[in-house]
Chain A
């Protein structure tokens, strides 16, 4: 991040057709025009993004990191946008919100460099709602999806936005701030949860989304039990409860909008949330493309594997399901990277394909084991994995989100 720079919203005068839609839409009067150009007043724009979707041209969606904002007069005089600043805006920001940005940067660290969105990904909307102006959602589902007898209480929670538009893409996250204050009397920190449903809702054309939440209850050495504030708040929500939601966030960990692309998804636990979204999306679009999904999903036992039941019903033609268990009595401990090595031939073949997109999501450290396995598999067929990984990352085809 450049120091003391501000993010300025600009309109490309070469692409804009002066249709007045943005000015008519802006709720704070930040957009204005003269006979030459439509421009945004940096002093008034509050990044609410209301003007972005209605713009028919795409001219509205320009963001420059500048040390000093361009004045209205400067913008009125332009025939084209000035050259973009050296760096900063070219990379897709996952959030405009510092708190969410920090969380996502940490989660994406394991990719080994700045991630990019897949070239064919749909354009994500980010930061439509913030702490000061959250969207209100209603809980319309809160279902335990792990066996009742296990200690792992994972919930599938459906949030309905009613009349409010909250557009998300699979792979994006939402922010939840638990009510109340923390031990120091400050407002609670924001937590991010991956969207676990497809972009058109939990059912097609519903205005809702699902998240996957694991109730955190960990015994401590002193005999006390640590209870996660946000996860317990969410897991305990009754149907009909109202929840403040921030976001959406995330502009890189997105699925390719390309039915010919193969997608390799590696996850543990609630890291499966985005992949449920990916899978649902592909399932709804039907089987017209050549691409297939490959899921390597680890849990301790089948009872503790979120979405175990629904996963069983997905056709093999859509998805190759590799469910891997580390604590099944009477069986050896197997982890996702073990299964990947066992399937080296399949994966090596995939690695050779240009259309392959790799996603790793789950507990921090997962990426290292997976990386080592992919390295061995690649080396065995003469591929330079670090180089391939870097190239894939630059092309938006390698993604890590661990926490």
Chain B
């Protein structure tokens, strides 16, 4: 049996990292634990802490063990520290240390760099829980309520995963960083979370689905890149997190699809033929396709900013050092050091968008973003299939990467969703056609009424095709205790 497959459930903190034998780290984590529970109670899902939620908990990190479903009260969820099994003889897969044995301890020269990466990743996890904490009040069904809480508890677990690394490998600095992860608050004026998109509110369920589809997908790309890391504990942590992240992708992907499905179905039933006739569609109590497109434009562009500057020395350094690789580095066939290689980058030159070949090492953010955009396309294709099947010619489309950007090459210009550069006046005149405005927000907010009858769904969303854990349609995913 590979080492580390077994989860120790005896202590306060379930783990497969031998905490029982590691007094120092165990004590540090047990000291951190009450603060975490306080944070969860203050900033986790509002209400529902006493409700029984049908959640998935990992009981092992091998394929057969990590999806055990049962009713759990969220504060009693087993947040543990779970690492994917160690790969014997693993070597650093890229950068200047390529081929050397993977590090089991932090290499001194990269300590600051690694700590920064872990803290930034860790900061996003509680941030999204905070952003989503009010959504329970307006869930369109018990099924969706359960999915929200599953995402929330797993984001909580991902925070634990990063905090473990900080405590285990970064001494006093790590301990302080772990404390601060509980102090910052999403959207707080004085102590905001570290990244912009994680300080935006998630005001409604369509935003939630868009967030899990687009923004959690950035998380997936970052985790994929860190899963390649030469620092083995980080790699193993991220590999296990990725299996959980797939559920978050699913919530967003299927959530948007169900909204689209309900809209086109209602349009067909009512004989509305023009998807652009928003007033007619809204009279049906569903979200019109142009508004869904606007939400996509917003969340996609906000998320692109998370990839940072297209040309980045930090990214080059992290790659060179063997700390952060490329998306699925192990599937790429090249020298894994990028010596002399170039990569095409979209840049803004004299107000125009042009493609320029730059040294591949400095274009790693761009490359990850390109992989991300390609990954985003796959869901849009399937959403459009639903629209096509219903007989409408409307198609959803990802906006151009230059659209609505605040960070990087395109932050200095204004561009249309098609990628045409325009002046500030034209932008101001048309922005409300491309991004949700107050009127859209007010309409969606009116639709956000909670549905708490098992098997029932709000007017604006279709039921899922398959239940969680293959449950039937009228399964009570959350037993609400107020």
Task: Give me the interface of A with B, judged by CB distance under 8 Å.
Answer: 12, 14-15, 17-19, 21, 25, 49-51, 53-54, 56-59, 61, 79, 119-120, 122-123, 125, 128, 162-167, 199-200, 205-207, 258-259, 285, 288
CB atoms of B9 and A205 under 8 A apart:
yes
CB atoms of A19 and B472 under 8 A apart:
no
> Given A122-B469, A163-B5, list of 18 further CB < 8 A pairs?
A12-B465, A15-B465, A15-B466, A49-B64, A50-B64, A51-B63, A58-B467, A58-B468, A61-B470, A119-B472, A123-B69, A164-B62, A164-B64, A165-B65, A199-B70, A258-B476, A285-B71, A288-B481
Chain B contacts for A17, CB-based, 8 A: 246, 249-250, 253-254, 378-379
Write the B288-307 contact mask toward A (1 if CB under 8 angstroms, else 0). 00000000000000000000
Of A19, A57, A125, A166, the residue contacting B466 (CB under 8 A) is A57
Instruction: Output the least CB separation between B66 and chain A (Å).
Output: 6
Chain B contacts for A288, CB-based, 8 A: 52, 479, 481
In the complex, B429 has a CB within 8 A of chain A: no
CA distance A49 to B67 in the complex (A): 13
Given contacts A163-B6, A206-B9, whether A54 and B70 have CB atoms under 8 Å apart is no
Max count, chain A CB within 10 A of own CB: residue among B6, B63, B468: B63
Given contacts A79-B385, A122-B469, whether A164 and B246 have CB atoms under 8 Å apart is no
Chain B contacts for A205, CB-based, 8 A: 9, 59, 78
CB atoms of B249 and A163 under 8 A apart:
no
Of A53, A57, A119, the residue contacting B66 (CB under 8 A) is A53
Of A21, A49, A57, the residue contacting B254 (CB under 8 A) is A57
CA distance A314 to B154 in the complex (A): 36
Instruction: Output the least CB separation between A119 and chain B (Å).
Output: 5
CA distance A259 to B466 in the complex (A): 23
Given contacts A17-B249, A21-B246, A49-B64, whether A59 and B470 have CB atoms under 8 Å apart is no
CB atoms of A58 and B71 under 8 A apart:
no
CB atoms of A59 and B69 under 8 A apart:
no
16 A-B pairs within 8 Å (CB atoms) are namely: A14-B382, A17-B379, A54-B66, A54-B67, A54-B243, A59-B466, A119-B472, A122-B70, A123-B469, A125-B64, A164-B60, A165-B64, A200-B68, A205-B78, A259-B479, A288-B481
Instruction: Output the least CB separation between B444 and chain A (Å).
Output: 24
Chain B contacts for A206, CB-based, 8 A: 9
CB atoms of A14 and B465 under 8 A apart:
yes
Considering only CB atoms, which chain A residue lies closest to B472 in the complex?
Answer: A119
In the complex, B96 has a CB within 8 A of chain A: no
Chain A contacts for B472, CB-based, 8 A: 119-120
Instruction: Output the least CB separation between A113 and chain B (Å).
Output: 21
CA distance A157 to B65 in the complex (A): 23
Considering only CB atoms, which chain A residue lies closest to B470 in the complex?
Answer: A123
Of B60, B243, B378, the residue contacting A21 (CB under 8 A) is B243
Chain B contacts for A199, CB-based, 8 A: 68, 70
Instruction: Output the least CB separation between A260 and chain B (Å).
Output: 9
Chain B contacts for A14, CB-based, 8 A: 382, 465
CB atoms of A56 and B378 under 8 A apart:
no
Of B1, B59, B465, the residue contacting A207 (CB under 8 A) is B59
CB atoms of A53 and B70 under 8 A apart:
no
Considering only CB atoms, which chain A residue lies closest to B62 in the complex?
Answer: A165
CA distance A368 to B236 in the complex (A): 57
CB atoms of B466 and A58 under 8 A apart:
yes
CB atoms of B249 and A56 under 8 A apart:
yes
Task: Give me the interface of B with A, judged by CB distance under 8 Å.
Answer: 1, 5-6, 9, 52, 59-60, 62-71, 78, 243, 246-247, 249-250, 253-254, 378-379, 382, 385, 465-472, 475-476, 479, 481
Interface of A (DSSP majority class): loop
Chain B contacts for A258, CB-based, 8 A: 476
Max count, chain A CB within 10 A of own CB: residue among B64, B71, B247: B64
Given contacts A15-B465, A128-B64, A288-B479, whether A122 and B69 have CB atoms under 8 Å apart is yes
CB atoms of B475 and A57 under 8 A apart:
no
CB atoms of A167 and B465 under 8 A apart:
no
CA distance A199 to B469 in the complex (A): 15
Considering only CB atoms, which chain A residue lies closest to B247 in the complex?
Answer: A56
Of B71, B246, B385, B470, the residue contacting A56 (CB under 8 A) is B246
Max count, chain B CB within 10 A of own CB: residue among A14, A49, A53, A162: A53
Chain B contacts for A59, CB-based, 8 A: 466
Instruction: Output the least CB separation between B149 and chain A (Å).
Output: 15
Considering only CB atoms, which chain B residue lies closest to A57 in the complex?
Answer: B250
Chain B contacts for A58, CB-based, 8 A: 466-470
CB atoms of A18 and B378 under 8 A apart:
yes
CB atoms of B60 and A165 under 8 A apart:
yes
Considering only CB atoms, which chain B residue lies closest to A62 in the complex?
Answer: B466
Max count, chain B CB within 10 A of own CB: residue among A25, A122, A165, A205: A165
CA distance A288 to B481 in the complex (A): 10
CA distance A166 to B5 in the complex (A): 13
Considering only CB atoms, which chain A residue lies closest to B5 in the complex?
Answer: A163
CB atoms of A162 and B466 under 8 A apart:
no
Chain A contacts for B254, CB-based, 8 A: 15, 17, 57
CB atoms of A164 and B1 under 8 A apart:
yes
CA distance A328 to B226 in the complex (A): 70
Chain A contacts for B66, CB-based, 8 A: 53-54, 165
Question: Nearest 7 pairs between A and B by C-beta?
Answer: A165-B65, A53-B67, A58-B466, A163-B6, A50-B63, A56-B250, A56-B247
CA distance A258 to B54 in the complex (A): 12
CB atoms of A167 and B65 under 8 A apart:
yes
Chain A contacts for B63, CB-based, 8 A: 25, 50-51, 53-54
Instruction: Output the least CB separation between B249 and chain A (Å).
Output: 6
CA distance A57 to B247 in the complex (A): 7
CB atoms of A163 and B250 under 8 A apart:
no
Max count, chain B CB within 10 A of own CB: residue among A17, A128, A162: A17
CA distance A14 to B381 in the complex (A): 11
CA distance A241 to B33 in the complex (A): 38
CB atoms of A200 and B70 under 8 A apart:
yes
Of A54, A120, A122, A163, the residue contacting B246 (CB under 8 A) is A54
Chain A contacts for B67, CB-based, 8 A: 53-54
Chain A contacts for B71, CB-based, 8 A: 285
CB atoms of A167 and B468 under 8 A apart:
no
CA distance A50 to B67 in the complex (A): 11
CA distance A167 to B470 in the complex (A): 16
CA distance A162 to B7 in the complex (A): 9
Max count, chain B CB within 10 A of own CB: residue among A15, A49, A285: A15
Chain A contacts for B1, CB-based, 8 A: 162-164
Chain A contacts for B378, CB-based, 8 A: 17-18
Chain B contacts for A165, CB-based, 8 A: 59-60, 62, 64-66
CA distance A119 to B71 in the complex (A): 17
Considering only CB atoms, which chain B residue lies closest to A18 in the complex?
Answer: B378
Instruction: Output the least CB separation between B377 and chain A (Å).
Output: 10
